[in-house]
Every structure is written in structure tokens, then in C-alpha cells.
Amino acid sequence: MSAATIDPTRLDTEIVASTRGLTKKFGSVTALDDVTLDLRENKIYGLLGRNGAGKTTLMQIMTGQAFQTSGEVHVFGRTPHENTEVLRGVSFIKESQAYPTDYKVAHVLAAARHLLRDWDEQFAQELLRDFDLPTDRKVKKLSRGMTSALGVILGLASRAPLTFFDEPYLGLDAVARQLFYDRLLADYAEHPRTVVLSTHLIDEVADLLEHVVLIDRGRIVADADAEEMRESAVTVSGSVEDVDSFVGARPELRRESIGSHTRVLMRTTDHTEDVAHAKALGLTIEPVSLQQLIVETTSLQGKDPR
């Protein structure tokens, strides 16, 4: 779907969470730098960015688990910190989640049932069967994949209006990850909510994402509809002369040349027009994957480690 054909009613959905000028410093490290962001209801977001970009810090502050140094954060119109009512509608799933030493899977589920307003026990039981997770096993004794499965079950069955998944599926194998994506999509269709997926597996989740927030060294560098973002660039190839004249002065994200043949990944402001024009000139034009675009966008921002 192109930007022009997006259902206009979906553009104006309510804001469920927002930040204004959010900054977080850890000593001399600025983990978040003036982040202003709105998360709207009933959308699946990809929160993407390189290691150390600030994704986890942003999610921790939005879920009231950490304090900002300056700036504002609101969830359902209120400050999330120590706000039980707000947090009953928020689910934050992360791999490093710690549980009390003696907790079994069943205890974790009971706690979630108690804490989360929209928890669906029947769905949780279905997911336990799907992921083959034993409820009487101590969480400490679960394998890495089983621990990840517990995380995704909690996140899905919470049906929280605002659900964050901070790479909880790192331990899942490819089959279990696919099961997670399938269950998420099917359940989201029946129970729309705001889901934020933070992941490095961009290609794998690309089709799920409706909106992309790209963070680089603590700053938001892209906040766009996923389809619009995909259509913001193309790869064009042909003879150096033809490609150069087609690209003109427009921004190039990458160029690879062999002899007199060249291939350029370039920005475009009119995707349809550019595709038609390039084809008419006999150039080869290919779409760009979200992953490719994000790699090029973030690598352009500089590579100095913090």
C-alpha cells in the first residue's frame, strides 16, 4: 500500500504514549538525546537501531522502570512511574527479566494474571501448549529458548494496550520465532493494540511492522510509516553514464561499481515516478529492503563508539 492509499482513519489514531525532549544520561554517556516520539493506538512499531543505540533505555523509561534526566514521558496521558493504574495496561518483555529464585512458570503466570488488566488466561494456556512450556518447571531451570518462550507468552497473553518486546525471542529457534510472529499477527487482528518490537532481525519482522522508529546514538533518526520508508529509496543499476544522469544530485546511500557498470542505492521522493522513469531509460530498478535501508541510514550517521 502506498502512502496515498493508506486508510486515513488509521493515521489519526489516539496517542497512547509520548515523550517530549527525553534525555537520559549515565555519567558521561548520553543514552537518549532529546527524544520526541508519539506511539499511537493499534499499531505495530519496530524500534530499531544498532547495539547501544538507546532502545532499551527508552522502553525502560516509557514503562516506568527508569527515570529520565530531563524531558517528559506520558503513557495513557499520565506519568508511568509508580503509577499502578497505568502499568496495569503496559507489558514490557525483555530477555533479562529476573524472577524470584523459587518461581515456577505457573507462579510467573499467576503474577501476570494479577498485575495485568487485560490478561487472557485461556490464550496463555493455548500458548503454553503451542510452545510446549512445562508450567511446573522452575524458571531458573528453563533453557534459554524456554525462557524466551515464557517471555513471548506473557507478552501475548497480557493483551496489554501497550506491549513492548525488547528482543525477547533471542533464544527462540527459527520455528518458534515464526510461531511467535504468526500468533502475534493473528491475535493482533482480533485484539488490536500497540505493540513495539525491538529487534535486530529486521528482515524477519519487516512484514509485521506498520511503523518504524529508528534510533541512532540516542537520537531518533527516522519515525515513519514502514511502507513509506521502504518507498523512500530504490536501487538503480546500469551503465555509469546512464545511472549518473538518472541519479543527478540526489542523495546516494551506497554505490558499487564494476568496470563501466554501477549500482546505486538512492533516496527518492516520488517512488512511482522514479520507477517508471528508470524503466523507460532501460535501467534496472529494484526495491530496497527495510534492513538494507536501516543499515545504510545508521552507518551514515557515523561509527564512533560511545
Ligand X SMILES: Nc1ncnc2c1ncn2[C@@H]1O[C@H](COP(=O)(O)OP(=O)(O)OP(=O)(O)O)[C@@H](O)[C@H]1O
Range 55-74, binding ligand X (CB under 6 A): 55-57
Q: Cell 515464557 identifies what position? A: 150
Q: Considering the complex, what minimum distance in angstroms separates the CB of residue 197 from ligand X?
A: 13
Residue (28 or 84) nearer to ligand X, CB: 28
When asked if residue 151 is in the footprint of ligand X (CB under 6 A), the reply is no
Strand runs (DSSP E) across 98-245, as ranges?
Answer: 162-166, 194-198, 211-216, 219-225, 233-239
Residues whose CB falls within 8 Å of the CB of residue 171, separated by 6 or more in sequence, listed in order: 95, 143, 144, 145, 146, 147, 148
Contact 227, 258 (CB under 8 A): no
Contact 202, 249 (CB under 8 A): no
When asked if residue 306 is in the footprint of ligand X (CB under 6 A), the reply is yes
Q: Considering the complex, what minimum distance in angstroms separates the CB of residue 188 from ligand X?
A: 23
Judged by CB under 6 A, the residue of 17, 35, 39, 53 near ligand X is 53
When asked if residue 199 is in the footprint of ligand X (CB under 6 A), the reply is no
3-state secondary structure of 261: strand
Judged by CB under 6 A, the residue of 54, 64, 89, 168 near ligand X is 54
Choose one: 50-58, 133-141, 148-156, 177-185; the region binding ligand X (CB under 6 A). 50-58
Question: Exposed, middle or buried: residue 174 (CB in 10 Å: 0-12, 13-18, 19+)?
Answer: exposed
Helix (H) or strand (E) holding 18: strand 15-26
Q: Say how many residues touch ligand X, by CB under 6 A.
A: 12
Residue (233 or 290) nearer to ligand X, CB: 290
Q: Considering the complex, what minimum distance in angstroms separates the CB of residue 200 from ligand X?
A: 7
Q: Considering the complex, what minimum distance in angstroms separates the CB of residue 68 from ligand X?
A: 12
Residues forming contacts to ligand X in the complex (CB under 6 A) are 26, 29, 31, 49, 51-57, 306
